[in-house]
Amino acid sequence: MRPRNHSFDPRTKVNWRVFALIWPYLLEYKRRIAIALLFLVAAKIANVVGPFILKHIIDALDAATAEPLNIVIAPIGLVFAYGLARFGNVFFGELRDTVFGRVTERAMRRVGLRVFRHLHQMDLDFHLNRRTGGLARDIERGTTGISFLMRFFVFNIAPTFIEIAMVVGILFYNYGLAFAGITLFSVVIYVFYSIKATEWRTQYVREANLADSSSNTRAVDSLLNFETVKYFTNEEFEASRYDDELAKWEQARRKNRLSLFTLNGGQAFIIAASMTSMMTLAAYRVADNSMTIGDFVLINAFMMQLFLPLNFLGFVYREIKGSMANIEEMFELLAKTPKVLDTEDAKTLAISNGEIHFDNVYFHYRDDRPILKGVSFSVEPGQKVAVVGASGAGKSTLMKLLFRFYDVSAGAIRIDGQDINHVSQDSLRKAIGVVPQDTVLFNDSIFENIRYGNPTANDAQVNEAIRLAHLDAFISELPEGGDTLVGERGLKLSGGEKQRVAIARTILKRPPILVFDEATSSLDSKSEQAILMAIQEVSKGHTSLVIAHRLSTVVDADKIVVLSHGEIAEQGTHLELLAKQGLYADLWHVQQKEKTISPNIQQRLTDHSIS
């Protein structure tokens, strides 16, 4: 998957289509949205009423009256009314956010779950090319973007412009064109400057976001490959590469900070100039007795109320625009179509005998590099068939095709006469149990990792699977037994122990078809023998396909298929193939020689024992 921009191009216009994407998720709570909008209107009314009450308080205090009782009683009542209006503004605003918060959170949950499910439905090729850290950030930014967009746009920006329209109308009606004109002109200039300055500085925000994603991806990739880093003592090399990414982030953040200074400085100048103009005009009107001191305070209060939320306009505009871009990126993930799809009339795979038939199968990852070329062979019900050959011959590809990680380029794979391309992937994969070459475990207990083969299995069934996989002796030696945590990706267990966990997990799944993909290739002789015993016991009565590199592990197979450069070179039993003196016999003799100690080493051992 290509590297993704985790922000937006400053030249890109706001894409209102994003609202159409998330609107269906919001409609689940229509009543809550209506109630939240009522609270929004109530909060804005309370906010506009406040300055009028403040005006009357000032005018009452300034009134030249000889009745002290009126001077005290009237302002106190207005003060309480003003306090009630201010409280109402905050209270209704909090109620609005509380009521609408459920809508936003549910939308985030629904979208997040949909993306998660979709990613698990994507084909193997997508996941082999993805960047775990960057992809996680895509999802995180997308779901967070929904929250930000709803919170700031629906209940901050839109209401602010509604309030601006109300205030301009009030000023025009009560005080004339001059006050309304200055207010409207100031707001327009402020908004225009904020948007232009924000778009200019977005390039620096993009650089910071890209550097942030790159450093995060670098860190995740390095930590996932912790063992490899340790093997080659490359801790400092990894730290240096991570620091290079952080240096780019630091430089981008510095530019971002300086551009923010320019934005905030310009906004402050516009606010100061407009406030000074309004106050000068208001003071002149008070001086000629065409306005009261209360009117002066009212105008000042209105201006402060307008510019306080607008002060964050640059930040909010950039974040809303960025949120829309991030939401769109997340929905782009949803728009990606898996290369392996069920047909519209896909049926559930019906297993009667468990016969597997590869019928003239061709496959390539790239058009210019064929992997399998017309492979045909059968695995009869209950048989154990092994596929052997040199590295790169296409052995593991057969397993991936059988499991439908990829679709065949030509030909067909059938199970009990049913083309696997015409059955549902879910039913196909439920019928096949796989013990992979590299067993990756979850960072959970041994017991729960085995139960993963059948999450509904009870403890007795899990313990039976442990016994059949010959894991019981090993588990009994552990201080915490089956509750022992295996660590990230199972790093606390040896290769043989992980393989036996994988076998136990497959036993618990109880599939009619078993596939062993070089399950012993990386084990020592003792572990290999233990795993082979477990495999033999598990395979009884099952159709088994064994992908093997070590020929000694498959001598008991009912049939051995020898692959060479994507084609079947020969097939038969172990003895039949040895008698042919062909490729299999050559591979067998080479591997037998590898087990024999060379004469030089034998002589050195003899000399050492004599001395």
**Stronger pLDDT, 597 or 498, i.e. the higher one:** 498
pLDDT of residue 561: 92
For the segment 56-73, the average pLDDT, to the nearest whole number, is: 60
pLDDT score at 123: 65
What is the pLDDT at residue 522?
55
Q: Which residue has the higher pLDDT, 156 or 460?
A: 460
Identify the pLDDT of residue 314. Answer: 65
- Provide the percentage of residues in the chain whose pLDDT is more than 70: 85
Phi, then psi, of 334 in degrees rounded to 5: -65, -30
* Residue 35: pLDDT band with limits 50, 70, 90: confident
275-289 residue pLDDT tens: 889 888 888 888 888
pLDDT value at 359 more than 90: yes
Task: Residue 35: name the closest of 100, 105, 113, 112 by CA.
Answer: 100
- Looking at residue 377, what is its pLDDT? 92
Question: What's the mean pLDDT in 252-277?
Answer: 86
Q: Is 334 a residue whose pLDDT tops 80?
A: no
d(CA 36, CA 25): 16
Q: Is the separation of the CB atoms in 558 and 356 below 8 Å?
A: no
Counting Cα atoms < 13 Å in the Cβ hemisphere of 593 gives 7
pTM above 0.85, yes or no: no
Distance CA 431, CA 420 (A): 11
Tokens of 570: 């020969």
Mean pLDDT lowest for which of 129-138, 231-240, 381-390, 443-452?
129-138
Q: What is the mean pLDDT of residues 580-598?
A: 77
Helices (DSSP H) in 415-494: which residue ranges? 425-430, 446-451, 459-468, 472-477
Question: CA 603 to CA 17: how far, in whole Å?
Answer: 79
| Residue entry with tokens 């609408």 | 100
Q: pLDDT at residue 458 above 80?
A: yes
Which of 37-41, 134-138, 401-405 comes out lowest in average pLDDT? 134-138
Strand 410-415 and strand 384-389: the pairing is: unpaired
DSSP string, 52-67: HHHHHHHHHHH---S-
Query: Residue 514: is its pLDDT beyond 50?
Result: yes
Q: Supply the pLDDT for residue 601.
A: 40
Higher pLDDT, 442 or 181: 181
Q: Average pLDDT for residues 589-604, to the nearest whole number?
A: 59
Contact in structure between 452 and 502 (CB atoms under 8 Å): no
| Token pair for 433 | 């149990």
- Chain center to CA of 547: 33
The answer to whether 568 and 373 are in contact (CB under 8 A) is no
Lowest mean pLDDT among 1-5, 99-103, 333-337, 552-556: 1-5
Q: Is the pLDDT of residue 312 over 80?
A: no
pLDDT, position 602: 44
Mean pLDDT is lowest, of 25-29, 448-452, 570-574, for 25-29
Q: Report which of residues 505 and 604 the model is more confident about.
A: 505
Mean pLDDT of all residues in 260-270: 85
The predicted pLDDT at position 412 comes to 92
State the pLDDT at residue 340.
78
Average pLDDT over residues 573-589: 89
- pLDDT of residue 610 exceeding 50: no
Please tell me the predicted confidence (pLDDT) of residue 560: 92
- Judged by DSSP in three states, 570 sits in strand
Q: Which of 278-292, 535-549, 588-602 has the highest mean pLDDT?
A: 278-292
Q: Which residues make beta-bridge pairs with 361?
A: 375
The 3-state DSSP class for residue 491 equals coil
pLDDT band at 413 (very low <50, low <70, confident <90, very high): very high
Mean pLDDT of 458-484: 84
pLDDT value at residue 135: 66
pLDDT beyond 80 at 400: yes
Mean pLDDT computed over 78-82: 76
Helix/strand/coil (H/E/C) assignment for every residue in 88-107: HHHHHHHHHHHHHHHHHHHH
Residue 362's pLDDT is 92
* Sole residue written with tokens 């040199």: 390
Model pLDDT, residue 5: 42
Q: What are phi and psi of 563, to 5 degrees?
A: -100, 140
Q: Tell me, what's the pLDDT at 360?
A: 93
Domains of the chain: 17-335 (1.20.1560.10), 356-431+511-603 (3.40.50.300), 439-498 (no CATH)
- For the chain, the maximum distance between any two Cα atoms, rounded to a whole number of angstroms, is 127
Confidence label for 598 from pLDDT (cuts 50, 70 and 90): very low
Instruction: Supply the pLDDT for residue 131.
Output: 58
Q: What pLDDT score does 361 carry? A: 92
Between 293-310 and 177-224, two packed helices, what is the crossing angle to 10 degrees? 30
Average pLDDT, the chain: 79
Residue 423 pLDDT > 80: yes
Query: Tokens representing 377?
Result: 């062979």
Cα–Cα distance for residue pair 464/497, rounded to 1 Å: 17
Residues 337-357, mean pLDDT to the nearest whole number: 84
Confidence of residue 343 (pLDDT cuts 50, 70, 90): confident
